[in-house]
Structure 1
């Protein structure tokens, strides 16, 4: 399922996640951690992949169309306490 969100909303959500969230999401969804970071606006395509986000100019940092909300949904579940973040050393 796709969804639309502003870039600033997406970054705010990412910045609200506790430490270790990117690695937990990556591990649980069998993705490279850089791919998860790219989903939230990162640009490391040497180690991570593009994950179906489309940016358009607009208010609040621009409009982001997300082709697949799996990573977004997992991040929201972490913030709502439905998923636990693994502690990495």
Structure 2
């Protein structure tokens, strides 16, 4: 499932996650921590992989087109658990 979100919205979700969430998401989904960080705007492609995130310049940090929302959905689920 694809989704478009602003870069600032994506970063706000990342910044709202409890400490250790990148590692938890990675472990739960069988990914590396760096791949999850790259999904949220990181750029470490030596240790992590690209994961279908395309950023278009624009207001609010630009638009981010997500080819697969699995990581985002997992992050949102973790946020629901803590609130």
* Same fold? TM cut 0.5: yes
TM-score (norm 1): 0.90
Higher Cα Rg: structure 1 or 2? 1
- Partner Cα separation in structure 1 for residue 65 and residue 30 of structure 2: 22
| Aligned-pair CA distance for 1:31 | 0.2
- Partner Cα separation in structure 2 for residue 29 and residue 13 of structure 1: 18
| CA RMSD after TM alignment | 0.9
- Structure 2 segments unaligned to the other structure (5+ residues): none
The structure carrying a bigger helix percent of its residues is 2
1:33 aligns with 2:33: yes
- List 4+ stretches of structure 1 deviating above 6 A: none
TM-score (norm 2): 0.97
1:35-54 alignment runs, 5 A limit: 35-54=35-54
Paired residues in the alignment total 82
